[in-house]
Amino acid sequence: MSLKTLMLLVLAVLTLAPLPAGAVGSDNSRSTTLPEIGVGSIRMDPYALDLVPRRLRKPVFRATVLVKRGEDEAAVRILSEQLENEPDLDHYLLRYHLGRSLARLERHAEAAEQYRAAVTLNPELDRAWIGLGDSAYKIKDYATAAEGFEQGFHTSPERPISVLYSAAAAALQDGDGAHSLQLFLELETGKWGTMKPEWYRGLAAAALKAEDPEAAKPGLERMLSRYPDDPVSWHLWYQFNVGTKDYREAAIALTVTGYLRDLTEREHDQLGDLFNMLGTPALSLDQYRGALGEQPAAHGYEKLVSAALAAHDTDTALATIDEALAYEKTARLYSLQGDVFYRLRDYESAREAFARVMELDPEYSRAYLMVGYCSLELGNKEEALDNLGRVSDDPHHGDIAQLLIQRAMLLEESGS
């Protein structure tokens, strides 16, 4: 075999042989960082200090040492001075490390500027993209945050699902419902990992923001099948259906939520409202009762009494009013009490209740009308005319008051 042939064989073997760990670098010095494996190809570590030009290695290396010691201020000073002294000698790692230290110091606007410079110099720098997203989010620049997180996700070999979620959430904060929905739907495919139950809240919000609620429905239904025992899932399904005005489905979802965990007082109140809207006031009674809590307010009792009246349960209505008046005496509660007695044709009790309304709220014209009417029914024409006359010009009750006055006058003329 000739010498030339032997040399070609040796060269071929060396070409095919794998490089030893750390052999890659501009000056062939050893590196402690191994090559990274990307999606479908070999991706060299873009963060290896070997890739920094020789004249920049010292300040960058010193900065990384200072960061490990927790001396970020000193690291920022060294890197900033390097940029000022040699502006033509720039590098993405210098910008990246400067941005990272600024972020650690919570100087997020400056950090975002440096991260932007880093990805401009090297668009494949996933950590810098993610850093840009994080810093921009903290200064409420949600459009930039969404861009940073999305680019960071797509350039990262690991494709971290939490970063894609951050991109979707930032887009939603920016008000870009269509883009946010697109990202949430990609998350929901499961291609990059399993969606957390609370992330579906963003999917629902994005679909409503994009005015495309049907796009979120299949995903939310899969959520219920994946997490059937999770009250977070059912409560989200309730909120989504309230947003789409499907109150029947919303009532079912909130009821199931109540089976899986105790409803709050506010949720009891909301479920009672839903039952009322669906025309089932009897079902709302228990919910309004649950909404009262340990320190009930008059407003809660008023809703409970109104539901009892709508359900034609006057006994519950009166008992509830008595209970409520023991806590707080309001014109509204006495007015409801008057209405119940009026419905029962107990005009004396109704007149007394409406008289209390007049004491508590002298501007409430309906109370004068009802006292006048009850007095008329009780045969007290003088009191009836006195109260009805006070509201005869009222825009809401004047017409009825005048009719009752005419009736009283006719009765008086007939001697009744």
Please give the DSSP secondary-structure letter assigned to residue 35: P
Mean pLDDT score of the chain:
84
CA atoms within 13 A on the CB side of 353: 25
* pLDDT per position as a tens digit, 35-59: 333 444 445 788 888 888 888 888 8
User: How do the domains of the chain map onto residue ranges?
Assistant: 23-141, 329-416
Return the pLDDT at 413.
58
* pLDDT per position as a tens digit, 301-332: 788 877 777 778 888 888 888 888 888 888 88
Q: What percent of the chain has pLDDT over 90?
A: 54
**119: amino acid identity, one letter:** V
* pLDDT per position as a tens digit, 216-253: 999 999 999 989 999 999 999 999 999 999 999 999 99
Return the pLDDT at 401.
87
Place of tokens 């009762």: 289
Return the pLDDT at 23.
29
pLDDT bucket at 292, cuts 50 / 70 / 90: confident
Q: Under CATH, domain 23-141 is a member of which superfamily?
A: Tetratricopeptide repeat domain (1.25.40.10)
Mean pLDDT of 375-398: 90
CA 102 to chain centre: 30
* pLDDT per position as a tens digit, 178-187: 999 999 999 9
CATH of region 329-416: 1.25.40.10
For 385-403, give one letter per residue: b (16+ CB within 10 A) or e: bebbebbbeeeebeebbee
Instruction: Name residue 42's beta-bridge partners.
Output: 37
